[in-house]
């Protein structure tokens, strides 16, 4: 009787030592050679280098050169300008006007896309299977539509002569693309229409991963749907919301096709220009490729700064990303 606990305790300690010894002697396949992980990553790094790093390098290089049609055709050699292109760009009042319009337009698109996408994601959890499937198919159809096709369809819908929207609203021959703000509004609606499905599907998947008991407890406590979203779902879905927010900022800040197609290249007298269209006009319409490249570099730096600042603020709040 008295020896049994001792022997069992010794056996437990012996097994514990064996386990600890085994853990020390267990092979670590990636610990002995740090080159093995990089070997697996090498194909992806090569592809990313070819598709991203080299074009960005060329973009930055051209932005420091005098590179116009004369240099492209080989008539004159490219000369180094230093920061001369950036000085010319920052000294142009039109650049700052376009930059402000781009920031305001992109912010409106991001907020609207997130609001519509999150609202429909919550709606998907409240409806039955058939309406849910129909809504998801409609959203994915909008997401899969090419930007040129979607922009053309929206122009037909809001056409002052044949569009059904003016007839339904009783606006007669009102031209949505003539005024600056109405044209921006029309493009915003198209951007939200083709962007919200990504947010909707992603947030819906995150909501489905939330334990049902948590939502039931909040409902039993008398919380409204808005309070449940703000106090329960949003904090739990914050990593997902970070991803969709950053993606939306990148996509909406560099909108090109919708503006170019729906406003005819930037609107009357350039009233609907954004940075991407402005860079296109400088580079290809005016053959000032160095200025167009400088605008592209500025856009890249702005997007990197916004992303890093956003992630830093979240880290200060103690969020795990």
Backbone angles phi, psi at 171, to 5 degrees: -95, 0
Q: What's the pLDDT tens digit per position in 94-116? A: 999 999 999 999 999 999 999 99
pLDDT > 90? residue 61: yes
For residues 149 and 7, which has the higher predicted lDDT (pLDDT)?
Answer: 149
pTM, two decimals, is: 0.81
pLDDT of 318 reads 60
Confidence of residue 118 (pLDDT cuts 50, 70, 90): very high
pLDDT of 225 reads 79
How would you class 311 by CB atoms within 10 Å of its CB: exposed for 0-12, middle for 13-18, buried for 19 or more?
middle
Q: What whole-number distance in Å separates Cα of residue 252 and Cα of residue 177?
A: 19
For 231, which DSSP code? Answer: I
**58: Cα within 13 Å, side-chain hemisphere:** 8
Q: What whole-number distance in Å separates Cα of residue 233 and Cα of residue 220?
A: 15
Q: What whole-number distance in Å separates Cα of residue 246 and Cα of residue 242?
A: 6
**53: Cα within 13 Å, side-chain hemisphere:** 7
Percent with pLDDT over 70 in the chain: 88
Average predicted confidence (pLDDT) for the chain: 85
H or E element that contains 151: helix 147-157
Task: Count how many residues are written for the chain.
Answer: 321
Q: What angle, 0 to 180 degrees and rounded to 10, lies between the N-to-C axes of helices 147-157 and 180-209?
A: 120
For residues 30 and 49, which has the higher predicted lDDT (pLDDT)?
Answer: 49
Q: What whole-number distance in Å separates Cα of residue 128 and Cα of residue 214?
A: 21
Q: What whole-number distance in Å separates Cα of residue 161 and Cα of residue 164?
A: 9
Q: What is the DSSP string of 307-321?
A: HHHHHHHHHHTT---
Q: What whole-number distance in Å separates Cα of residue 215 and Cα of residue 220?
A: 9
Sign of CA pseudo-dihedral 54, 63, 307, 207: negative
| Helix, strand, or coil (residue 272) | coil
Q: What whole-number distance in Å separates Cα of residue 239 and Cα of residue 23?
A: 34
Cα separation values, 188 from 168, 203, 211, Å: 20, 21, 35
Q: What whole-number distance in Å separates Cα of residue 313 and Cα of residue 76?
A: 48
Confidence of residue 321 (pLDDT cuts 50, 70, 90): low
pLDDT of 9 reads 47
Confidence of residue 12 (pLDDT cuts 50, 70, 90): very low
pLDDT of 320 reads 55
| Helix, strand, or coil (residue 255) | coil
Partnered with residue 288 across adjacent β-strands are 68
Q: What is the CA radius of gyration of the chain?
A: 28
| Contact by Cβ (8 Å): 232, 215 | yes
Q: What's the pLDDT tens digit per position in 131-190? A: 999 999 999 999 999 999 999 999 999 999 888 999 998 888 889 999 999 999 999 999
Mean pLDDT in residue range 60-76: 87
H or E element that contains 270: none
């Amino acid at each position: 009787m008295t020896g049994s606990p001792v022997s069992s305790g010794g056996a437990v300690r012996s097994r514990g030592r064996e386990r600890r010894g085994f853990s020390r002697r267990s092979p670590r396949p990636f610990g002995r050679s740090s080159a093995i992980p990089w070997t697996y990553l090498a194909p992806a790094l090569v592809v990313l280098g070819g598709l991203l790093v080299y074009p960005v390098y060329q973009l930055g290089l051209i932005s420091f050169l005098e590179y116009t049609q004369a240099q492209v055709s080989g008539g004159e050699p490219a000369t180094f300008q230093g920061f001369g292109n950036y000085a010319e760009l920052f000294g142009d009042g039109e650049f700052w006007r376009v930059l402000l319009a781009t920031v305001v337009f992109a912010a409106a698109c991001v907020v609207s896309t997130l609001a519509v996408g999150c609202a429909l994601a919550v709606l998907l959890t409240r409806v039955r299977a058939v309406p849910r499937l129909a809504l998801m198919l409609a959203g994915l159809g909008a997401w899969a539509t090419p930007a040129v096709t979607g922009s053309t369809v929206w122009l037909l819908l809001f056409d002052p002569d044949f569009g059904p929207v003016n007839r339904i609203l009783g606006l007669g021959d009102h031209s949505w693309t003539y005024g600056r703000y109405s044209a921006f509004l029309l493009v915003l609606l198209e951007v939200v229409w083709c962007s919200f499905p990504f947010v909707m599907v992603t947030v819906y998947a995150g909501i489905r991963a939330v334990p049902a008991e948590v939502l039931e407890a909040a409902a039993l406590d008398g919380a409204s749907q808005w309070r449940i979203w703000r106090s329960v779902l949003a904090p739990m879905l914050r990593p997902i919301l970070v991803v969709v927010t950053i993606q939306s900022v990148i996509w909406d800040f560099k909108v090109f096709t919708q503006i170019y197609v729906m406003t005819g290249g930037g609107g009357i007298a350039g009233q609907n220009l954004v940075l991407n269209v402005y860079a296109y006009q400088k580079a290809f319409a005016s053959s000032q490729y160095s200025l167009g490249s400088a605008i592209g570099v500025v856009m890249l730096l702005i997007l990197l700064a916004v992303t890093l600042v956003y992630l830093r603020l979240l880290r200060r709040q103690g969020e795990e990303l």
